[in-house]
């Protein structure tokens, strides 16, 4: 039962029970003391009568005098109902004198023998058919210190019983009143000093559980209670700090992606339940990788911090700003229509562009995709639609705000843009390759052949088509850095000096720098930069070893070396035969060249030899 009560009620119940038990014990003791006092009064009355009878009996030894004394006492005392003298007879003790003459001569009751024989005073309350309560007293009759009989006294105790009952009732009333007063005072103190602080703590804990803003609680009570309150506040503050750290992006100070996913589901459920609308903005910083490469990561981090602060300053207080990952931000706009969301997104875009215009070399802009729930997407596709809209903004010039409802319009533009970019991309590649050929007359068609060999190797290895394409493009552009090498070194006949060779070894780095400014070439930069690295770590520019060298670079290294060996070079007028070049590849297998790439390239060489022989035979037959 106690377990079902609340802690405050349990405390009050236990203290109330203790008070009632204490008051009951006091009343019981008071009743016992009163009854004991009444008994002592009866005994003193009996002792007075006994002393009188003893005196008369010792003087005259006359039973008649005792009888007269009994009659006189009964006549004077209304409470005295019967007096009797018990003394020894021929057989045993018998009644020698009594106010009830009929009992004279009768045998004394057996229960009075302790008084006759041992000199004990006996007292007993009698239950009779009358309404009056009776008390029976028996005291020994002595002569010269020797018990010679006993005096029996029967009294009407109704008056004393009434006094005892009234006193008992008074004690009960006083006790219960005192108990309730004590309980009330105790309850007041307990509530003020213990219950109210506990209720405050309970309410504070409930606020924390429900995720409401926590207001530090101030407990009033004993020193221990105050300390508990302080400890609770400190604990909540630490929990809130840890919780904020768990949902906050450490760099920008906005919420992280884990918090975004949780709040997004909550807001979509709320909008669906209330029949409202919400908007999701998907933001991506334009050209951020190039900015990081050109300005450094420290500057890039500062840009992200500033953009996050700009976004927060241009949204409503109820909106939730999160960093989704890298240079991407997502913004949840609860209770927001599509038109209002577009206005907020456009404000953000403009403010970021204003901030980014401060640097002419690395301007900063942002592309934003917008999707409204439930108009543009359901719970499962909202993020995807906002992401698609953002991608449409990036592929159509960047620094744009695109709504998911506009995607069909942007698809046609995207197709035209891709076709234009593809042509531009191809023209750029060809132009760069031609620039190297113009610079180095000995490399005529070298880039095309390396690209052909490399793509054949990549295709034989089972790489995806997109990766094969990257390797082919990297093969075309692997020597683009030679445009920065002096002609005297590039076209020198004979062996290069150490200083000249050191300059020549810079061409992979020069090529990397030339291509890094073009976004479309970002995926092939490492192939161009590391195509002269060796598995044994003796290559350049960074002496990478084995698997640390990108696979595309390892493929181009074999293709480049093979075609160089079978081609005329400034330092070698007569090229090597295919068989001699194969022997060089085998000699460098595992040290200079990747052994798996060499093993896959040798069958390709054989196929090319067969094709060449077949072509030569057909030419002879035609002639």
User: Rounded CA gap, 497 and 223, in Å?
Assistant: 87
Locate 280 and state its tokens: 């999701």
Mean per-residue pLDDT of the chain: 80
Picking from 415, 355, 343, the residue whose alpha carbon sits closest to that of residue 368 is 343
Mean predicted confidence (pLDDT) in 8-22: 75
- Give mean pLDDT, residues 194-207: 72
Q: How many CB atoms lie within 10 A of CB 360?
A: 6
Q: Residue 127: what pLDDT?
A: 67
Closest CA to 279 of 359, 192, 371: 371
For residue 14, count other CB atoms closer than 10 A to its CB: 12
Domain extents for the chain?
28-163, 248-409, 440-622
Judged against a pLDDT cut of 70, whether residue 526 lies above it is answered with yes
SS3 570: coil
CB within 8 Å of 400: residues ≥ 6 apart = 349, 367, 368, 393, 394
Q: Class of the 248-409 domain?
A: alpha beta
Short-list 128, 123, 101, 102, CA closest to 112: 123
What percent of the chain is modeled with pLDDT above 70? 82
Q: What's the pLDDT band for 78 if we cut at 50, 70, 90?
A: confident
Please state which of the ranges 44-48, 118-122, 153-157 shows the lowest mean pLDDT: 44-48
Highest mean pLDDT among 14-18, 341-345, 391-395, 434-438: 341-345
Tokens of 252: 């920008």
Given a contact cutoff of 8 angstroms between Cβ atoms, the answer to whether 376 and 385 are in contact is yes
Is pLDDT above 60 for 413? no
Are 59 and 164 in contact, with CB atoms under 8 Å apart? no
Q: Given this model, what pLDDT does residue 35 score?
A: 72
State the pLDDT confidence band at 264, using cuts at 50, 70 and 90: very high
Question: With respect to CATH, is domain 28-163 assigned 2.40.37.20?
Answer: no
Q: Which of 74-83, 192-201, 369-378, 593-602 has the lowest mean pLDDT?
A: 192-201
Rounded to whole angstroms, the Cα distance separating 369 from 400 reads: 8
Over residues 148-176, the mean pLDDT reads: 79
| Residue 574 confidence (pLDDT) | 76
Per-residue pLDDT at 435 exceeds 70? no
- Cα–Cα distance for residue pair 283/368, rounded to 1 Å: 4
Distance CA 227, CA 152 (A): 73
Q: What is the DSSP string of 290-332?
A: HHHHHH-HHHHHHHHHHHHHHHHHTS-TT-EEEEEETTEEEEE
Handedness of CA 415, 418, 420, 426 (dihedral sign): negative
Mean pLDDT value across residues 487-516: 82
Average pLDDT over residues 9-20: 75
The pLDDT assigned to 415 comes to 46
Q: Are 96 and 63 in contact (CB under 8 A)?
A: yes
Structure tokens at 535: 């598995």
Beta pairing partners, 93? 88
Q: What confidence tens digit (pLDDT) does each residue in 302-342 have?
A: 999 999 999 999 999 999 999 998 899 999 999 999 999 99
pTM: 0.42
Residue with tokens 């006294």: 153
b or e along 546-568 (b: 16 or more beta carbons within 10 Å of the residue's beta carbon)?
eeebbbbbbbbbbbbbbbbbbbe
Return the half-sphere exposure (C-beta side, CA atoms, 13 A cut-off) of residue 432.
23
Helix extents (H) in 357-406: 382-395
Q: What are the tens digits of pLDDT across the range 107-121?
A: 888 888 788 777 788
Nearest CA among 579, 551, 549 for reference residue 565: 579
Q: What is the pLDDT of residue 622?
A: 46
Omega before residue 93 within 30° of 0, cis: no
**pLDDT at site 328:** 93
Residue 433: burial class (beta carbons within 10 Å; 0-12, 13-18, 19+): buried
What is the arithmetic mean of pLDDT over 527-531? 91
Closest CA relative to residue 46, chosen from 128, 143, 123, 118 = 123
pLDDT digits (tens, 9 = 90+) for 339-353: 999 999 999 999 988
Return the pLDDT at 613: 63
The domain covering 440-622 belongs, at the CATH homologous superfamily level, to Hypothetical protein af1432 (1.10.3210.10)
pLDDT tens per residue, range 568-583:
766 666 788 888 888 9
């Amino acid at each position: 039962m106690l377990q079902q009560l609340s802690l405050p009620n349990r405390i009050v119940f236990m203290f109330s029970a203790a008070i009632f038990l204490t008051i009951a014990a006091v009343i019981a003791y008071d009743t016992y003391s009163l009854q004991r006092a009444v008994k002592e009064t009866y005994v003193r009355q009996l002792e007075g009568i006994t002393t009188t009878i003893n005196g008369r009996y010792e003087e005259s030894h006359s039973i008649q005098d005792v009888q007269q004394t009994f009659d006189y006492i009964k006549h004077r005392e209304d409470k005295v109902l019967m007096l009797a003298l018990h003394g020894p007879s021929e057989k045993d003790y018998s009644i020698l004198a009594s106010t009830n003459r009929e009992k004279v001569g009768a045998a004394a009751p057996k229960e009075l023998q302790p008084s006759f024989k041992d000199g004990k005073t006996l007292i007993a309350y009698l239950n009779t058919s009358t309404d009056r309560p009776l008390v029976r007293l028996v005291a020994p009759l002595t002569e010269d210190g020797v018990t010679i009989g006993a005096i029996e006294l029967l009294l009407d105790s109704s008056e004393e019983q009434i006094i005892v009952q009234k006193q008992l009732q008074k004690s009960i009333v006083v006790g219960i009143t005192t108990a309730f007063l004590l309980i009330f005072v105790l309850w007041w103190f307990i509530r003020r000093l213990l219950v109210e602080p506990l209720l405050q703590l309970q309410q504070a804990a409930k606020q924390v559980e429900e995720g409401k803003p926590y207001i530090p609680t101030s407990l009033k009570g004993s020193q221990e209670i105050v300390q508990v309150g302080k400890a609770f506040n400190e604990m909540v503050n630490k929990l809130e700090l840890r919780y904020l750290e768990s949902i906050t992006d450490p760099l920008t100070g906005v919420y992280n992606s884990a918090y975004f996913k949780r709040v997004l589901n909550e807001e979509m459920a709320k909008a669906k339940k209330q029949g409202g609308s919400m908007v999701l903005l998907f933001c991506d910083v334009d050209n951020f990788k190039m900015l990081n490469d050109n300005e450094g990561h420290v500057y890039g981090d500062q840009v992200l911090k500033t953009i996050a602060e700009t976004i927060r300053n241009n949204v409503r207080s109820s909106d939730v700003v999160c960093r989704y990952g890298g240079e991407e931000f997502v913004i949840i706009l609860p209770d927001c229509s599509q038109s209002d969301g577009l206005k907020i997104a456009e404000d953000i875009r403009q403010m970021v562009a204003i901030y980014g215009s401060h640097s002419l070399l690395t301007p900063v802009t942002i592309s934003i995709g917008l999707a409204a729930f439930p108009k543009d997407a359901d719970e499962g596709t909202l993020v995807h639609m906002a992401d698609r809209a953002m991608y449409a903004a990036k592929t159509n010039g960047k620094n744009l705000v695109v709504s998911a409802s506009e995607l069909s319009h942007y698809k046609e533009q995207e197709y035209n843009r891709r076709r234009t970019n593809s042509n531009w991309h191809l023209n750029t590649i060809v132009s760069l390759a031609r620039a190297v050929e113009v610079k180095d007359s000995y490399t005529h068609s070298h880039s095309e052949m390396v690209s052909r060999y490399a793509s054949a190797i990549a295709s034989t290895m089972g790489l995806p088509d997109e990766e094969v394409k990257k390797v082919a493009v990297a093969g075309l552009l692997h020597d683009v850095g030679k445009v920065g090498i002096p002609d005297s070194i590039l076209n020198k006949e004979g062996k290069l000096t150490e200083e000249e060779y050191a300059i020549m070894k810079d061409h992979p780095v020069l090529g990397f720098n030339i291509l890094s400014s073009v976004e479309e070439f970002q995926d092939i930069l490492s192939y161009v930069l590391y195509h002269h690295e060796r598995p044994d770590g003796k290559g350049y520019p960074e002496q990478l070893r084995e698997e640390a060298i990108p696979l595309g670079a390892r493929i181009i290294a074999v293709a480049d070396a093979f075609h160089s060996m079978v081609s005329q070079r400034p330092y070698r007028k007569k090229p090597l035969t295919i068989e001699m070049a194969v022997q060089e590849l085998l000699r460098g297998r595992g040290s200079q060249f990747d052994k798996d790439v060499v093993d896959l390239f040798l069958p390709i060489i054989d196929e090319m030899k067969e094709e060449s022989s077949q072509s030569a035979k057909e030419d002879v037959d035609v002639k």
